[in-house]
A and B are shown apart, each in its own frame.
Chain A
């Protein structure tokens, strides 16, 4: 049984951080007790450390006094990775929010974890540099959270995910030691790859206090192609043909009929009545090259029986098409106020099959279910919508989401492409991870965090009892 923060512990934390940066008032505790899963758990206190040393001090004390510490960026995660399910101290990285250095020669940026990813991209763009991962929450999520969850986005097919851009880290281990992993070079094979162990560890293996990011030159332009297909199947056919004709789009988004109908309620989109799926393809690079590639993409779509194909003429055109894509997720609130947002991944060859099965699952359980997502990398966002005041519907939604997970694994896919496991998916982990591998993960966790103080109750399925 964990003790709550006793008076002495609180005093020590106050002494370490100052009264502005260690808060135990009701308002602060409540508002640092949730993330985008909309579940509130009250922590005993909230710490706002300003340096790795302060983080280390908090973790050492946590080991000594045995209280949980839960790292939190902007609290925009979808799986509860940052919520204090067992109370304890929420450790917010918001104060560590500086871009420390950007090197055009090394193509490297060194940043603190609290930097807002979108702001980092804006600063880099001014220098003609590019950090590609673009989760939908880019305007408010933090880079530290992105690294801890290994965030993805729409450009993963061509540019990879957060993991592919982390060269090195400064990490405070759960026991308080401050270590550095990796470095600032793309090539580095010295010792075990601890950087990759920490990336995507959901704040369970250490607190990230500094990140060295790989950058690339900013592509000069982009052209977007929008195509409506009679079915998901014909749209995915087009996807395969685009890729096999040696075009590597920076994004390829597929949207099912249900999502399209929903977004059309609040946005001007004129689609042919027999549309079964919409495909949005973006190519980037020099202007001449993108124009030619876009023409080829349009041609492939037409051959793959597209009902209508549009090619953007300029950046404004492109932006309005992407605006439509980004409006989909929010517009689903028109169907039902609440949702189970699953970000499953299937092998690209199974994309059409998976989307068709998911649609049927929705029908079978009688819940609105929409699918859209990253066709290029097989990452599909399955939204099971419900009203939590309607208990029956909420239960059916749970069951439908559960079926989605099972089908995904059966198709050789993965439970989460970019959201992580946290608390909302932990019960499904054994579906995908074999018992021996799960045991190994637990051993790694207990080796680094023998007292289990850092972000307890996450990732691993909880033994019920």
Chain B
């Protein structure tokens, strides 16, 4: 049973500030992927703002369930806030309202389980995922079962095969000593750990090749973005705390994060979560050290190194998909393109609609599979129309979604994480260039 809301208290107190700037002009309708998929006003940012405003104005006469449902129909992509002519912050308001509603009414069992699963530490979570992996093997061996959510989720149409051994268990990735002298830490997040260890290995490969010593703290877990997005403030806080405790050491100057969504959360969302705690100041300095990997590599000048390599035969065209957390959240569009443009194995071709949302939105995909699918259709059309053979991205959520889209849509194109292509290029060039990155690295030392 879910707790009843206490009647006297306004459940959305503290939101006025974020909501009051919205004048309902309608601009958000032209940028909101969910609204464009559903075509109904409650799903547009201004609709949600109106709902929150109405609920705040009359806390006794609103539908808790309907408000919660409307607020859950948001990808938190941030386009509304970014494009609002009046400076209203709809995305931030939705995030906050979800927390307030969860605090008063509790999370639904389903959401609670997902958030709990995410927040477990590796010792308890890895064995669980390992048994899921065995189950998945059976399901896949039988050509998939179409019953029950768990079965569906484990079907390869939903997620790629769980890869054992998990990334953090692979001996290959113990602490490495590079030649450059500077030490960086690597945070991989859940998707790389369980589903795409090869992306993690590519990341380590690139960093090592550039001469860094790479430290991979074994106690690392989930970044906490999903818990925060679901409104589970307590778990989001405890995960933030764990990240700060695990990565808050002086050994490294930079914490490299290959997933743009994790990177967005860890560099922007950590401090607000730990505000007022004794970890606040540490969190501030760690946030500043945390960088999304392709931005880090582009700032380092990896593209110049790649360009200096001898030409080789091109394997085809590559294009880039902008993850919302990367382009809207971190404001990074140029960096991954600069790297892709410097590859010797592929030629870069911009895709029309590169910044269209893929529809994943983390847990959004789980709670609203049909809406997610509708949103993804535009993206799929853009991918089909692009001439590219390979679609590279920088967010593991997008990577999952895009991979599923091209597979179920029978599109003969492959989806990769940017790091895979970079690592492939570097490996191909052999070791002789290893002296050259020194000058590029000097500024980091």
Contact = CB atoms under 8 A, between A and B. Distances in A.
A330 B86 contact: yes
Given A26-B62, A27-B66, A27-B67, A137 B39 contact: no
Given A28-B42, A30-B54, A31-B47, A333 B21 contact: yes
B26 A75 contact: yes
A333 B69 contact: no
Contacts of B66: 25-27
Given A28-B42, A330-B85, A337-B20, A137 B25 contact: yes
A202 interface: no
A36 interface: yes
A282 interface: no
A33 to B, nearest CB: 8
Interface in A11-25: 25
B408 to A, nearest CB: 25
Contacts of B85: 329-330, 333
Nearest to B61: A26
Nearest to B29: A140
B315 interface: no
A31 B24 CA distance: 10
Nearest to A119: B30
A143 B39 CA distance: 16
A141 interface: yes
Nearest to A34: B24
Contacts of A95: 39
A201 interface: no
B87 interface: yes
A139 B30 contact: yes
B427 interface: no
Interface residues of B, number: 31
Contacts, number: 83
A35 interface: yes
Nearest to A327: B85
Contact of A36 (B25, B40, B42, B54): B25
A309 interface: no
B27 A30 contact: no
B23 interface: yes
B51 interface: yes
B161 interface: no
A420 interface: no
Interface in A139-185: 139-141
B40 A28 contact: yes
Contacts of B41: 28, 31-32, 75, 92
B51 A31 contact: yes
A18 to B, nearest CB: 14
B50 interface: yes
Given A26-B62, A30-B51, A333-B87, A76 B26 contact: yes
Interface in B61-81: 62-63, 66-67, 69-70
Interface in A76-94: 76, 92, 94
A417 interface: no
Contacts of B51: 27, 30-31
Contacts of A9: none
Interface string A355-388: 0000000000000000000000000000000000
Nearest to B43: A31
B57 to A, nearest CB: 9
A140 B51 CA distance: 20
Contact of B63 (A27, A33, A35, A329): A27
A118 B27 CA distance: 12
Interface residues of A, number: 32
B26 A137 contact: yes
B74 to A, nearest CB: 13
Contacts of A427: none
Contacts of B24: 34-38, 75
Contacts of B69: 27
Nearest to B71: A27
Nearest to B26: A76
Contacts of A140: 26-27, 29-30
B28 to A, nearest CB: 8
Contacts of B87: 333
Nearest to A138: B30
A110 interface: no
Of listed A25, A34, A36, A141, residue having the most chain B CB within 10 A? A34
A333 B27 CA distance: 15
A234 to B, nearest CB: 30
Interface in B13-38: 20-27, 29-30
A94 B27 CA distance: 16
A31 B50 contact: yes
A74 interface: yes
Contact of A74 (B22, B26, B54): B26
Contacts of A38: 22-24
B40 A40 contact: no
Interface string B362-381: 00000000000000000000
Nearest to A337: B21
Interface in B390-439: none
Contacts of B50: 30-31, 33-34, 40
Contacts of B29: 74, 140
Interface in A392-424: none
A25 B26 contact: no
Of listed A27, A30, A94, A329, residue having the most chain B CB within 10 A? A27
A33 B50 CA distance: 9
A23 to B, nearest CB: 8
Given A32-B41, A333-B21, A333-B86, A40 B54 contact: yes
A40 B46 CA distance: 12
Nearest to B83: A139
Contacts of B30: 116, 118, 139-140
Nearest to B35: A140
A32 B87 CA distance: 22
B100 to A, nearest CB: 17
A116 B20 CA distance: 27
A116 B31 CA distance: 13
Nearest to B41: A31
Contact of A94 (B23, B39, B42): B39
Contacts of A75: 24, 26, 41
A76 B25 contact: yes
Nearest to A389: B20
Nearest to A97: B39
A33 B42 CA distance: 11
Contacts of A25: 63, 66
A26 B63 contact: yes
A32 B46 CA distance: 11
Of listed A37, A140, A333, residue having the most chain B CB within 10 A? A140
Nearest to A72: B41
B105 to A, nearest CB: 16
B40 to A, nearest CB: 7
A370 to B, nearest CB: 15
Nearest to B32: A140
Nearest to B69: A27
Contacts of B48: 31
26 contacts: A25-B66, A26-B63, A27-B47, A27-B63, A27-B69, A28-B40, A28-B41, A30-B42, A30-B47, A31-B40, A31-B46, A34-B50, A35-B24, A36-B23, A37-B24, A38-B24, A74-B29, A75-B24, A75-B41, A116-B30, A118-B30, A137-B26, A137-B27, A329-B85, A333-B87, A337-B20
Given A30-B50, A74-B26, 7 more contacts: A25-B66, A27-B63, A30-B51, A31-B44, A74-B29, A140-B27, A337-B20
Interface of B: 20-27, 29-30, 39-42, 44, 46-48, 50-51, 53-54, 62-63, 66-67, 69-70, 85-87
Interface of A: 25-28, 30-38, 40, 74-76, 92, 94-95, 97, 116, 118, 137, 139-141, 329-330, 333, 337-338
**8 cross-chain pairs, A with B, having the tightest CB-CB distances, nearest first:** A330-B85, A31-B47, A31-B41, A76-B26, A139-B30, A26-B63, A140-B30, A27-B66
